[in-house]
């Protein structure tokens, strides 16, 4: 087996100069809508589903599918019709590494959960890949590069396995060909918490609890140690209120926010989909960049090394030093920008 050692990049000290932003004319073309393909699901058989998508950029620019975590979606960056920020600010947007002036950027909403035709679960990363293919068909895109992070990285790997001829370059961050049992165990507890809430008429409370737990796996102990005091806010009042801790306030707030945006069935379907994920390492395309972060406990560097080694193709694997654990793909904008700039095709910079 090939021995592929990962490059290590220290990011703490890496200076990042945000590029200067110039107001742009013209606004890149935006196409959005829903495609309604009939897909053959791995465990559900044939089903007609709705796949909302959004595409930004010139039709003749290199097509790049951008897929994120389970709470990410089709909206990648502000547009004239939807000025809200996308899920990956600093990385996708005007003047950024994934610039709608220089890429045809394509996002979709993942399948999973309640639909007009009943419950969509279990859903696999290969099912999501089929949905991406349907969106590409609709857009007239025959082949695309992929930038997939976390769950979206798993979907990109599944796409490359199912549709090698439609896959140009892959950049995979915080994802690998399989999960590891500790991560699966912690997610199974999250699903049990969401289910307990739903079963007892407290779905928001269960979902918030699941997300609070997930947050502890998205960040690193080192970051929390820097950020939160270990001292209680108060020790509680006998028989009235429990003790409260700074980190608990943070986790509760993140959980409550998620419970407003998500529903139980969708969370269960997507969380389970992560644990059902599996691709053959040998299906990895030659033009792949794998990015891991040293503090990522969910997708640790050793698991990405396993993919690189078993692929037999010695893809480039960069392990970046970060304080931010699994969320480093969202937080290490400078490092991610450098890696994407060096890896993806794009149209030359437009002079304005």
Q: What is the binding site for a copy of itself (CB under 8 A)?
A: 42-44, 118-119, 121-122, 124, 178-186, 188-189, 191-193, 195-197, 199-202, 205-206, 209, 212-213, 215-216, 219-221, 224-225, 227-232, 235-236, 238-239, 242-243, 245-248, 250-252, 268, 272, 275-276, 278, 297, 300
CA–CA separation, 32 and 76 (whole Å): 12
Closest-CA residue to 244 (of 228, 255, 257)? 228
Among candidate residues 296, 305, 327, 343, the one labeled active-site is 296
Q: Which is nearer to a copy of itself, 88 or 224 (CB)?
A: 224
> Residue 172 to residues 143, 242, 314, 338: CA-CA distances in angstroms?
17, 43, 14, 14
Q: Which is nearer to a copy of itself, 107 or 197 (CB)?
A: 197
CA torsion sign, 32 to 261 to 41 to 62? positive
CA–CA separation, 144 and 2 (whole Å): 28
Q: Which is nearer to a copy of itself, 22 or 230 (CB)?
A: 230
As measured in angstroms, the least distance from the Cβ of 42 to a copy of itself is 8
Among candidate residues 305, 326, 338, 343, the one labeled active-site is 326
> Residue 112 to residues 197, 273, 298: CA-CA distances in angstroms?
19, 9, 21
Closest-CA residue to 30 (of 82, 95, 97, 102)? 82
> What are phi and psi for residue 242, nearest 5 degrees?
-75, 165
Residues 6+ apart with CB under 8 A from 316: 7, 288, 289, 290
Q: Which is nearer to a copy of itself, 140 or 238 (CB)?
A: 238
Q: Which is nearer to a copy of itself, 164 or 242 (CB)?
A: 242
> Residue 319 to residues 5, 9, 23, 266: CA-CA distances in angstroms?
10, 6, 35, 31
As measured in angstroms, the least distance from the Cβ of 221 to a copy of itself is 4
As measured in angstroms, the least distance from the Cβ of 269 to a copy of itself is 10
296 tagged catalytic = yes
As measured in angstroms, the least distance from the Cβ of 300 to a copy of itself is 7
According to DSSP, residue 13 is labeled T
As measured in angstroms, the least distance from the Cβ of 197 to a copy of itself is 7
Among candidate residues 150, 220, 322, 343, the one labeled active-site is 150
Catalytic residue positions, numbered: 150, 296, 326
């Amino acid at each position: 087996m090939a021995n592929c050692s990962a490059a290590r990049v220290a990011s703490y000290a890496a200076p990042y100069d945000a590029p200067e932003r110039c107001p742009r004319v013209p606004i890149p073309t935006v196409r959005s809508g829903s495609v309604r393909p009939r897909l053959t699901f791995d465990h559900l058989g044939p089903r007609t589903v709705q796949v909302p998508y959004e595409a930004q950029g010139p039709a003749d620019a290199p097509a790049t599918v951008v897929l994120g975590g389970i709470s990410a979606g089709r909206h990648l960056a502000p547009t004239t019709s939807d000025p809200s920020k996308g899920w990956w600010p600093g990385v996708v947007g005007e003047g950024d590494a994934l610039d709608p002036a220089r890429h045809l950027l394509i996002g979709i909403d993942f399948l999973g959960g309640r639909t007009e035709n009943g419950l969509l679960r279990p859903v696999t990363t290969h099912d999501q890949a089929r949905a991406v293919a349907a969106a590409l068909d609709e857009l007239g895109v025959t082949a695309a590069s992929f930038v997939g992070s976390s769950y979206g990285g798993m979907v990109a790997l599944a796409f490359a396995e199912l549709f090698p001829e439609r896959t140009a370059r892959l950049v995979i961050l915080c994802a690998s060909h399989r999960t590891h049992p500790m991560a699966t165990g912690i997610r199974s507890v999250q699903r049990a918490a969401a289910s307990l809430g739903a079963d007892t008429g407290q779905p928001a409370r269960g979902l918030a609890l699941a997300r609070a737990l997930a947050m502890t796996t998205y960040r690193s102990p080192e970051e929390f140690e820097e950020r939160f005091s270990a001292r209680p806010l108060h020790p509680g009042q006998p028989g009235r209120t429990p003790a409260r801790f700074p980190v608990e306030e943070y986790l509760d707030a993140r959980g409550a926010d998620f419970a407003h945006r998500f529903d139980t069935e969708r969370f269960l379907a997507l969380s389970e989909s992560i644990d059902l994920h599996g691709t053959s390492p040998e299906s990895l395309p030659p033009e792949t960049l794998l990015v891991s972060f040293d503090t990522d406990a969910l997708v640790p560097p050793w698991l990405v090394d396993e993919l690189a080694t078993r692929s037999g193709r010695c893809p480039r694997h960069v392990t970046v030093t970060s304080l931010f654990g699994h969320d480093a793909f969202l937080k290490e904008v400078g490092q991610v920008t450098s890696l994407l700039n060096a890896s993806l095709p794009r149209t030359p910079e437009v002079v304005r």
